[in-house]
Amino acid sequence: MSDLILHHYPTSPFAEKIRLILGHKQLAWKSVLIPVIMPKPDVVALTGGYRRTPLLQIGADVYCDSALIADVLERHAPTPSLFPHDSAGLVRTLAQWADSTLFWTAIGYAFQPAGMQAMFGKLPPEHLQAFGADRAAMRGNAPRMAVAEATASLTEYLDRLENMLEDGKPYLLGALPTLADFSVYHPVWYVSRVQGLSAILDRAPKLLTWLGRMTEIGHGTAEKISSTDALDICRSSTAREVDAPFIDLHGIALGER
């Protein structure tokens, strides 16, 4: 089977989720570092226009969205499983909440003025302006969650997650990490890296211990390659036959861009 190639950048929360899953499954992978903001010519050459991070490439097949990538990695390496048979539905539900509600709440909290200064204070103003414009375009210019709302909601969510660990289990749903852990991890990880704002996590000591336990999983074995190398691999490979029927849930035709 072709190598696993992850297109990512170090500070991407969703890329960190996938890097940690690669580590959990003890997988070797190729690392392609991509730009944080547009333009991303080699990325869109692979995806046909999709610009979010990360991407997983296997030969000529390119997978977008971290939830799909998790399923692909589960198929590639079923053990240890991200979806225990007796709780797969619960795992997916919690993971979806974390990847959407918890993530956007964490971003709203982290991107308050103090957080922006901590993360981007050393960058030239034009770089910060370019980053802000890029992210606004990616959101379709939808407003980010207000700081007060994000702070109140994140506080409540941290208390709920802390409560899930009150019985002493090492992971959110039991003795082993599931996709739910990796999906909750990346927003909490992101907040933990924001100097001056990470103290909000102190209210959840068991969650902080869990965060350290998750971090220790690591990223597996990565080897850097260039985006040019990745494009060459795509050109010289044959796409996998899709053996599942197409189900249109969103009014988007197969192959439509």
Share of the chain above pLDDT 90, in %: 80
pLDDT, greater one: 6 or 138: 6
Mean pLDDT, the chain, integer: 95
Q: How much is the average pLDDT of 71-97?
A: 98
Percent of the residues in the chain that have a pLDDT greater than 70, as a whole number: 100
Task: Report the b/e string of 193-204 with b at 16+ CB within 10 A.
Answer: ebeebbebbeeb
**Predicted pLDDT of residue 137:** 87
Please say if the pLDDT value at position 141 is more than 80: no
* Sheet order of strands, 4-8 included: 61-64, 55-58, 4-8, 28-33, 221-224
pLDDT band at 155 (very low <50, low <70, confident <90, very high): very high
**Cβ proximity of 99 and 67 under 8 Å:** yes
Q: Which of 144, 141, 124, 125 is nearest to 133 (CA)?
A: 141
- Whether the pLDDT of residue 167 is over 90: the answer is yes
Reading phi first (left if > 0) and then psi (alpha if -120 to 50, else beta), residue 26 is in left
Q: pLDDT tens digits for 219-249?
A: 999 999 999 999 999 999 999 988 878 888 8
Q: What is the pTM of this model?
A: 0.94
* pLDDT number for residue 1: 64
Give the pLDDT of residue 244.
Answer: 79
Domains of the chain, with CATH numbers? 4-80+218-235 (3.40.30.110), 85-215 (1.20.1050.10)
243 or 69: whose pLDDT is higher? 69
Residue 161 confidence (pLDDT) above 70: yes
Looking at per-residue confidence, does 170 or 143 come out higher?
170
User: Which secondary-structure segment (H or E) carries 163?
Assistant: helix 147-164
- 174-229 pLDDT, tens digit each: 999 999 999 999 999 999 999 999 999 999 999 999 999 999 999 999 999 999 99
In tens, the pLDDT along 22-47 reads 999 999 999 999 999 999 999 999 99
Residue 33, φ and ψ in degrees, nearest 5: -80, 130
